[in-house]
Amino acid sequence: MLEIPAQIWQKTKTSYIWRSLFRHGYPDSRKNQSLAVFTNVFLHLHPVKVRRHALAIPYTWCMGGLSFFLFLILTLTGTLLMFYYHPSVDGVYNAYGDIKDLETVVVFGQLLRNMHRWAAHGMVITVFLHMIRVFYTGSYKPPREFNWVIGTLLFFFTILLSYTGYLLPWDQLAFWAVTVGYEIARATPFIGDEFSFVVFGGFQLGPNALLRFYVLHVVGLPLATGFLIAIHFWRIRKDGGITGPL
């Protein structure tokens, strides 16, 4: 058998790895441009071409893009905040103490927390205004009914993200504000006590509620929201892009 020199073998191996990552040529033609989009999951969510009216700010007001941008800011700042936060009520390291340290001890901690807080408020506003724009311009009509449902779910998850994050500072304002939601959950007909027990982790607001809200806020709800955002973008492309002026 013929032995392949080490340099040639290494070059061949590198070529195979390169082709496995980039399975088409440089996007200098329409064919390669299409292949670049079809073989990339991130580019596949974005259309190859964008209609001129989709770039008209007075029509869309960029509310959808602003909502997604604020979601990215929340994801980044929330991840950084997790390095300094403990979802605990008692002990040396606790939720309230960590929030106070962020404001007074951690370098740029107050800036980080305020960015997260105001981005959360802004996302609720922009998602709400985005839904108003879609309804006002009739962008929910066929064949976009399914995407309207996805958008409604995204607004619902945005409210849940804001609500679960409200308890995490574990101060008096957060505690008594979430207590209102707890009493509303208890008022659910027939299954009020059971429902509040499942959601808040007990028959009164306490450490279990803080832990459950923390898990929902940093894991469950962001994953569900990110998944729905991907579907939302994909359906916009499949339904012909952003709707034009009536």
pLDDT at 129 (0 to 100): 97
Map residue 191 onto helix, strand or coil.
Answer: coil
3-state secondary structure of 180: helix
Question: What is the full per-residue pLDDT of the chain (246 aa) written as tens digits?
Answer: 445 566 555 656 666 777 777 777 777 888 888 787 777 777 776 666 777 877 788 888 999 999 999 999 999 999 999 999 999 998 889 999 999 999 999 999 999 999 999 999 999 999 999 999 999 999 999 999 999 999 999 999 999 999 999 999 999 999 999 999 999 999 999 999 999 999 999 888 899 999 999 999 999 999 999 999 999 998 998 888 888 776
Q: Which domains does the chain have, with CATH numbers?
A: 57-238 (1.20.810.10)
Q: What is the pTM of this model?
A: 0.85
As to burial, measured by CB atoms within 10 angstroms (0-12 exposed, 13-18 middle, 19+ buried), residue 19 is exposed
Structural tokens at position 126: 């922009």
Contact (CB, 8 A) for 225 and 34: no
Residue type, 105: V
Distances (CA, A) of 167 to 76, 108, 172: 20, 22, 10
CB 127 within 8 A of CB 106: no
Distance CA 193, CA 185 (A): 8
